[in-house]
Amino acid sequence: MSIGQTTKHRTLGLTDEQVVHMYRNMLTARKFDERCLLLQRAGKIPFHVSGIGQEAAQVGAAFALEHGRDFFLPYYRDYAFVLSVGMTLKDLMLAAFTKAEDPNSGGRQMPGHFSHKRLGIVTGSSPVSTQVPHAVGIALAGKMKRQSFVSFTTYGEGSSNQGDVHEGMNFAGVHKLPVIFMCENNQYAISVPLHKQVAGRIVDRALGYGFPGVRVDGTNVLEVYEAVKEARERALRGDGPTLIEAVMYRIAPHSTSDDDMLYRTKEEVEYHRERDPVSMMKQYLLDSGLWSEAQDEALQAEIKREMNEATQYGDLAPYPKPEDTLTHVYADEREDRDQWL
Amino acid sequence: MSIGQTTKHRTLGLTDEQVVHMYRNMLTARKFDERCLLLQRAGKIPFHVSGIGQEAAQVGAAFALEHGRDFFLPYYRDYAFVLSVGMTLKDLMLAAFTKAEDPNSGGRQMPGHFSHKRLGIVTGSSPVSTQVPHAVGIALAGKMKRQSFVSFTTYGEGSSNQGDVHEGMNFAGVHKLPVIFMCENNQYAISVPLHKQVAGRIVDRALGYGFPGVRVDGTNVLEVYEAVKEARERALRGDGPTLIEAVMYRIAPHSTSDDDMLYRTKEEVEYHRERDPVSMMKQYLLDSGLWSEAQDEALQAEIKREMNEATQYGDLAPYPKPEDTLTHVYADEREDRDQWL
Amino acid sequence: MAVITYLEAIRSAMDEEMARSGDVFVLGEDVGKGGVLNATKGLRDKFGEDRVLDTPLAESAIVGVAIGAAMYGMRPVAEMQFADFIFPATNQIISEAAKIRYRSNNDWNCPIVIRAPYGATGGGALYHSQCPESVFFGTPGLKIVAPSNPYDAKGLLKAAIRDPDPVLFFEHKKCYLGVTGPVPDEDYIVPIGKADVKREGRDITVISYGLTVQYALQAAEQLAKEGYSAHILDLRTLQPLDVPAILEAASRTGKVLIAHEDNKTGGVGAEVAALIAEELLYDLDAPVMRVCGPDVPAVGMNPPMEKFFLPSVDKMLDAMRKLAQY
Amino acid sequence: MAVITYLEAIRSAMDEEMARSGDVFVLGEDVGKGGVLNATKGLRDKFGEDRVLDTPLAESAIVGVAIGAAMYGMRPVAEMQFADFIFPATNQIISEAAKIRYRSNNDWNCPIVIRAPYGATGGGALYHSQCPESVFFGTPGLKIVAPSNPYDAKGLLKAAIRDPDPVLFFEHKKCYLGVTGPVPDEDYIVPIGKADVKREGRDITVISYGLTVQYALQAAEQLAKEGYSAHILDLRTLQPLDVPAILEAASRTGKVLIAHEDNKTGGVGAEVAALIAEELLYDLDAPVMRVCGPDVPAVGMNPPMEKFFLPSVDKMLDAMRKLAQY
Ligand SMILES: Cc1ncc(C[n+]2csc(CCOP(=O)(O)OP(=O)(O)O)c2C)c(N)n1
Ligand SMILES: Cc1ncc(C[n+]2csc(CCOP(=O)(O)OP(=O)(O)O)c2C)c(N)n1
Ligand SMILES: [Mg+2]
Ligand SMILES: [Mg+2]
């Protein structure tokens, strides 16, 4: 690796601490994923959808955004993203164990359906791509109220074919809204490979909406960081949306219910596992002289400790009460109405 | 006008008779439109949506398609189109008067909602753009059954923003289906001008679906003919869909319920009226030496006679019976089921 | 109290709420010029084109963008140009708006209003006449409102805009210019969730909403001349239904006629009848009756089919008389 | 007669209809590998990937493309991966499929089948558990089917594929592997529009469809031990409802319990109750009862809320006993 490459983060304005922090978040997300797969197999949690292979893009994007100001509309694989904008392992474990204290939904939704108002994480659902117009609406509101922030949303390449993506992007393009659309193109939509899913190139769709499309290597955290940072600057300058296509590979099966060997080969998966973004990031740190194997072991141990704590906390936390089923269909009469009036 | 221009139709493989026929159809559609506006103002028919200004693209396209073989999914302004693929003035007048004999819907739908199975005109509705996936589905069926035809659909530039257009085009792109999408970009969606409606250029959207987009002067019948002809050849060769953006101007108000002076100026409309495609076509025929003012007068008289006949027929034809309301919700038990079994 | 049309009531509700708070804005197709049905006429001149926003022709985006803005804290009022064109937005309404509070365990909420001009005016045919309320009825998390007169229309629309939850607001197009009535000059709201007795009576109870309330009132005048008195309950809010008011009105006379323009099967009237069958069986003196549109896709364009399809004062009177004489 | 699962019944219906006619094909997300719920397993190997077509992730296109193919003359069977994801296709279903025959005055028709796996299995949370039938119920032009056992599932799916009109086919996911039963080896259909008495009884009538029919049958066994006999009618087709069968079953005992997993307000049960209130008032010996999901957006993921929400044999038995003892 050349010197240029090993200090790329500095040329992007990232400190050494930040880039280590990026790695830490990627690793934490990876370990969370691995833990959940174990917990699911052990019957301790019902279900898990994994983000393995997508951590680089998620962390790169999160570091380019402003926490406490920007709005985030992530999709179900974005563990590394939400961990990087303030969600904790405990929060995620509470969701995995579907417990009352889960800040995402109070144990109502499947895990991976992120929500945390204080952190700017907007509640998401399962039907894919519905969040895209929401991101546009938040950006519109910000523009109307002359607030300086962006809204950032992600979705898979399969999901990019939903009508809502088209309608949302066109709306954002017409009004030059501060939105960043990031498609995490991981080559599969469950079993359907890219070429049966998407005609043309996703990145080229931006042209038709009059704003730039950028294709980046989604396994390279710094490349994604740079693209999102530029997109954010454009948005804040009033120059409108950006579409980022982050190309990557879904290393794990679609979910704990999926047998991916029905539609792809071990060899194909192995090929990509060797290009694992977390390992590549570690290598970058090692090559830059910012990291050592000893530090890595210490970090792994620390994450493990945290993970155990979070797991235990999630496991032992109480469930909602059965009658909670009936709450929050509508506002409590006094509550919000008075707030707004 | 140079010699090259006056014989352009021959270089496209169109005979002199055909190009006169094109003009005849454009003029017939125009006269139909004008008659309906009169009938509506006189309270003889309830409502009219006009196609004035869009006849060239419609006739150009219709002549490039194969009647009795291709499938047509036109939108509500396509009078000149349907007249060119076999619908008669009588058919259209029966629809305008909402009479039982109307082949489009038996007087059930608003006029402009074309349908005629024998002519390959597929029933359309009011919610815009729903016909786009239908066109794709027909093309898919044709491909599955190894039949050699194209399906052709039109819609306005406002309607191009519906999710169904995106989803339909992507589907057609993935499966390389023999569909031609023609957007009649007439600059307005009711009162909303192009720049508030569409981000980017409509024609550029094709790139994102991996098939060619062609922008043509929609007031030039030969240019549209050429584009649709090429698109049809591509489709039959198995090379997939084409998007054609035909640029034109909606000279009339949106409908008989619309006051267009609320959102555009007389001058703007006047400017485009001077570029009226029907007059330009007449001029082309005159310049080519294929036409004379005397012939034109004869044609006008002939169309007027036909129009009067059709109007009278439509006016005098009986309405459906009240109880017809209850028919054709579902198939008559014996009918279609047996046909298919 | 000024006497105004139903359409003016709706327009002035938006006008006043927009003046009251900068969070309120309207968006939709052609709303800038005033809307194709004139509900937003004059608002752009007053509040600017940002707050009377012409959108691209894409209903799912109109609702989806409104949802995003509402989650941010705005109070968007989204216009569907015709209720018939609400269906592209179904996913945003049912999967999103209705479930945002519940799924986030009360962390987020979605205070949008979706205005949908519905019902037949004559000459609208299959796709400019529909009554789609039953599609959304029965989706918990949504509120659904359908006023029958200017007072209720204005008061309910203001309540809807101030409501912290999503409200579908169905405006019967035939009421727009056809129904006028007195409306207070000062600010007021009509609470969502409360039905209203529009006429007191002893012999039969008519339960309805929207235009057919007006038909029932006219038919009741005629019926009174024939010696029968009709009690008329206007549901006003379809969801949540005002169950106590329904049961009270039904038990008042023991003879219930339910009327709506929406087709009969699976309509709101079915739920009203079911509630009565569950709660009031022994108080009924006649079977429950329903007068509704026939179970066909929608109204035909030609006049004979239109007349056959649509409710009318005469059809209402026939049914009311039959029930009274039962 | 082989004894097979509900899922195998559905798969074999498609298999046999595809073998029977080259016009039949299936399309949807992941149907090629067999579908995420295995309903199309093995079909691609047998019929090729053109006739077991993996589509892009876009429900409106799946249905819209199927409609186009159906108008051409094909018999597409479109799979919604989960019924919860049918809503993006609402416009194509309600505005298009349901109205094609009517609006073209019988010139065109739209013989599509839309398969929608619905209902909660446990662990599916808000968006993999819904019962969306009431959204489409009450849309004339559509047929809606919801079988409760393998025999009906296979026979009805074959009938749906052969039907010249659009059919929404709701398959309860908890029946897939949980319900087995005998199915003839030879070709047969179960006619759309006919309800079926699943158990004869004298004391109470239960009217239901889908999974809750199974619960009712189990509860009836228990109730029999307590000395009461339950008459159980399985609607099988939700639209058009088999009105004579409903009235006959209700009048058989004069005590009616209606049950479904879909939430109560505005559900199919409301129409069933309304029909009874209109036609059988004087034959009833007890108010009509409904056992349904609560009026909340959908089932929660965590076990306590799930248990609270979902119907069960016990809940059914309680209601049936209460009605029997009324
Ligand atoms: C509207 C809708 N249809 C179907 C599904 C079921 N589903 C869940 S994830 C998925 C595939 C998504 O693929 P992609 O967008 O590429 O994201 P990835 O899972 O690969 O990250 C499908 C079909 C859904 N959630 N929503
Ligand atoms: C889904 C839907 N929403 C709204 C409408 C009402 N509407 C009818 S035509 C029209 C404008 C269409 O504009 P465009 O697509 O540019 O076609 P043009 O009328 O200009 O030919 C609108 C909004 C509709 N028909 N369908
Ligand atoms: Mg993917
Ligand atoms: Mg236009």
Q: What is the pLDDT along chain B (341 residues), one digit of tens a residue?
A: 455 667 899 999 999 999 999 999 999 999 999 999 999 999 999 999 999 999 999 999 999 999 999 999 999 999 999 999 999 999 999 999 999 999 999 999 999 999 999 999 999 999 999 999 999 999 999 999 999 999 999 999 999 999 999 999 999 999 999 999 999 999 999 999 999 999 999 999 999 999 999 999 999 999 999 999 999 999 999 999 999 999 999 999 999 999 999 999 999 999 999 999 999 999 999 999 999 999 999 999 999 999 999 999 999 999 999 999 999 999 997 555 545 55
CA distance linking residue B190 with residue C266, whole number of Å: 35
Per-domain residue ranges for chain B?
A: 3-340
On whether any CB of chain B is under 8 Å from the CB of C184, the answer is no
Instruction: Taking residues A51-61, report their average pLDDT.
Output: 98
Strands (E), chain B: 71-73, 151-156, 179-185, 188-189, 192-193, 213-217, 242-247
- Contact (Cβ atoms closer than 8 angstroms) between residue C285 and residue C257: no
Q: Which of A49, A58, A190, A258 is the best mutation target for the ligand 1 pocket, counting ligand atoms within 8 Å of the beta carbon and taking the most?
A: A190
- Contact (Cβ atoms closer than 8 angstroms) between residue C297 and residue B329: yes
Q: Of B206, B289, B279, whose CA–CA distance to B1 is shortest? A: B289
- Would the pLDDT of A338 be above 60? no
* Interface predicted TM-score (ipTM): 0.98
CA distance linking residue A144 with residue D173, whole number of Å: 45
Is A263 an annotated catalytic residue? yes
Paired strand residues for D114 = D78, D168
- Confidence at residue D6, expressed as pLDDT on a 0 to 100 scale: 98
Phi then psi for residue C64, to 5 deg, are -65, -40
Angle at C85 (CA atoms; ends C82, C89), nearest 5 degrees = 125
Q: Of C86, C66, C172, whose CA–CA distance to C135 is shortest? A: C86
Is A21 an annotated catalytic residue? no
Q: For residue C97, how far is the Cα from the chain centroid? A: 18
pLDDT in tens, chain D (326 residues): 899 999 999 999 999 999 999 999 999 999 999 999 999 999 999 999 999 999 999 999 999 999 999 999 999 999 999 999 999 999 999 999 999 999 999 999 999 999 999 999 999 999 999 999 999 999 999 999 999 999 999 999 999 999 999 999 999 999 999 999 999 999 999 999 999 999 999 999 999 999 999 999 999 999 999 999 999 999 999 999 999 999 999 999 999 999 999 999 999 999 999 999 999 988 999 999 999 999 999 999 999 999 999 999 999 999 999 999 99
* Contacts B167 to A, Cβ<8 Å: 161-163, 166
CA distance linking residue C76 with residue C24, whole number of Å: 6
Task: At C281, list the tokens.
Answer: 């069986």
CA of B162 to the centre of ligand 2 (A): 10
Phi then psi for residue B161, to 5 deg, are -90, -5
Instruction: Tell me if C127 and D95 make a contact (CB, 8 A cut-off).
Output: yes
* Contacts A163 to B, Cβ<8 Å: 162-164, 166-167
- Would the pLDDT of A107 be above 90? yes
CA distance linking residue C250 with residue C201, whole number of Å: 11
* Contacts D51 to B, Cβ<8 Å: 144
Summarize pLDDT for B283-314 with one digit per residue, the tens.
999 999 999 999 999 999 999 999 999 999 99
Q: Return the CATH architecture of domain B3-340.
A: 3-Layer(aba) Sandwich (3.40)
- Contact (Cβ atoms closer than 8 angstroms) between residue A241 and residue A177: yes
Task: At B91, list the tokens.
Answer: 């058919």
Task: At A275, list the tokens.
Answer: 């290009």
DSSP character string of C120-189: --SS-GGGSS--THHHHTT-TT-EEE--SSHHHHHHHHHHHHH-SS-EEEEEEHHHHHH-EEEE-SS---
- Contact (Cβ atoms closer than 8 angstroms) between residue B260 and residue B253: yes
CA distance linking residue C133 with residue C270, whole number of Å: 13
- Confidence at residue A1, expressed as pLDDT on a 0 to 100 scale: 47
Task: Calculate the CA dihedral of residues C84, C88, C90, C96 and round it to 10 degrees.
Answer: -140
- Contact (Cβ atoms closer than 8 angstroms) between residue C295 and residue C120: no
To the nearest whole percent, how much of chain A has pLDDT over 70? 96
Cβ contacts from A onto B, under 8 A: 84
pLDDT in tens, chain C (326 residues): 899 999 999 999 999 999 999 999 999 999 999 999 999 999 999 999 999 999 999 999 999 999 999 999 999 999 999 999 999 999 999 999 999 999 999 999 999 999 999 999 999 999 999 999 999 999 999 999 999 999 999 999 999 999 999 999 999 999 999 999 999 999 999 999 999 999 999 999 999 999 999 999 999 999 999 999 999 999 999 999 999 999 999 999 999 999 999 999 999 999 999 999 999 988 999 999 999 999 999 999 999 999 999 999 999 999 999 999 99
Interface of B with C in 32-51 (CB under 8 A): 46-47
Interface of B with D in 126-165 (CB under 8 A): 127, 130, 132-142, 144-145, 151, 163-164
On whether any CB of chain D is under 8 Å from the CB of B174, the answer is yes
DSSP character string of A275-325: T-HHHHHHHHHHHTTS--HHHHHHHHHHHHHHHHHHHHHHHHSPPPPGGGG
Amino acid at B145: K
CA distance linking residue D183 with residue D151, whole number of Å: 5
- Contact (Cβ atoms closer than 8 angstroms) between residue C136 and residue C167: no
CA distance linking residue D38 with residue D33, whole number of Å: 8
CA of A160 to the centre of ligand 1 (A): 10
- Would the pLDDT of A336 be above 70? no
Q: Which of C81, C87, C127 is the best mutation target for the ligand 2 pocket, counting ligand atoms within 8 Å of the beta carbon and taking the most?
A: C81
Amino acid at A277: P
To the nearest whole percent, how much of chain B has pLDDT over 90? 95
* Contacts C277 to D, Cβ<8 Å: 273-274, 276-277, 284, 287-288
- Would the pLDDT of A339 be above 60? no
Label the pairing between strands A179-185 and A188-189: unpaired
**Residue whose tokens read 């001009």:** C117
Cβ contacts from A onto D, under 8 A: 111
Q: Burial, A112: exposed, middle or buried (Cβ in 10 Å; 0-12, 13-18, 19+)? A: buried
Other Cβ atoms less than 10 A from the Cβ of C282: the count is 10
- Confidence at residue B6, expressed as pLDDT on a 0 to 100 scale: 72
CA distance linking residue D76 with residue D86, whole number of Å: 16
Instruction: Find all residues with CB under 8 Å of C228, minimum gap 6, and list them.
Output: C203, C204, C320, C321, C324, C325
Phi then psi for residue C25, to 5 deg, are -145, 160
Instruction: Tell me if D67 and B133 make a contact (CB, 8 A cut-off).
Output: yes
Instruction: Find all residues with CB under 8 Å of A231, minimum gap 6, and list them.
Output: A64, A150, A180, A214, A241, A242, A244
- Contact (Cβ atoms closer than 8 angstroms) between residue D165 and residue D101: yes
Task: At A129, list the tokens.
Answer: 């791509």
Neighbours of ion ligand 3 (CB under 5 A): A 156-158, 186, 189
CA distance linking residue C57 with residue B158, whole number of Å: 6
pTM: 0.98
Phi then psi for residue A107, to 5 deg, are 75, 15
Q: Least CB-CB distance to B161: which of C54, C56, C304?
A: C56
Q: How far is CA D297 from CA C145, D132, D309, in A?
A: 19, 11, 11
Cβ of D5 below 6 Å from ligand 1 = no
Summarize pLDDT for A218-252 with one digit per residue, the tens.
999 999 999 999 999 999 999 999 999 999 999 99
CA distance linking residue D83 with residue C94, whole number of Å: 13
- Contact (Cβ atoms closer than 8 angstroms) between residue C131 and residue C85: no
* Contacts B173 to A, Cβ<8 Å: 199-200
Coil/strand/helix, residue D66:
helix
The sign of the CA dihedral B187, B189, B190, B194 is: negative
Coil/strand/helix, residue D262:
strand
CA distance linking residue B92 with residue B81, whole number of Å: 12
Q: For residue B5, how far is the Cα from the chain centroid? A: 25
Buried b vs exposed e over C94-123: b needs ≥16 C-beta within 10 Å?
bbbbbbbbbbbbbbbbbbbbbbbbbbbbeb
Is D260 an annotated catalytic residue? no
Buried b vs exposed e over B38-57: b needs ≥16 C-beta within 10 Å?
ebbeeeebbbbbbbbbbbbb
Other Cβ atoms less than 10 A from the Cβ of A41: the count is 11
Instruction: Tell me if A169 and B199 make a contact (CB, 8 A cut-off).
Output: yes
The sign of the CA dihedral B317, B321, B322, B324 is: negative
Other Cβ atoms less than 10 A from the Cβ of D22: the count is 13
Instruction: Tell me if C304 and B321 make a contact (CB, 8 A cut-off).
Output: yes
Paired strand residues for C258 = C207, C290
Element (H, E) at B287: helix B277-287
The sign of the CA dihedral A182, A187, A193, A198 is: positive
**Residue whose tokens read 């049809």:** B232
CA of B208 to the centre of ligand 1 (A): 20
> Which residues form the pocket of ligand 2, taking CB atoms under 6 Å from any ligand atom?
B 77, 126-128, 155-159, 184, 186, 188-190, 250, 254; C 29, 57, 59, 81, 85, 88
CA distance linking residue A116 with residue A108, whole number of Å: 14
The sign of the CA dihedral D78, D83, D85, D88 is: positive
Q: How far is CA D267 from CA B168, C140, D124, in A?
A: 33, 12, 21
Instruction: Tell me if D301 and A319 make a contact (CB, 8 A cut-off).
Output: no
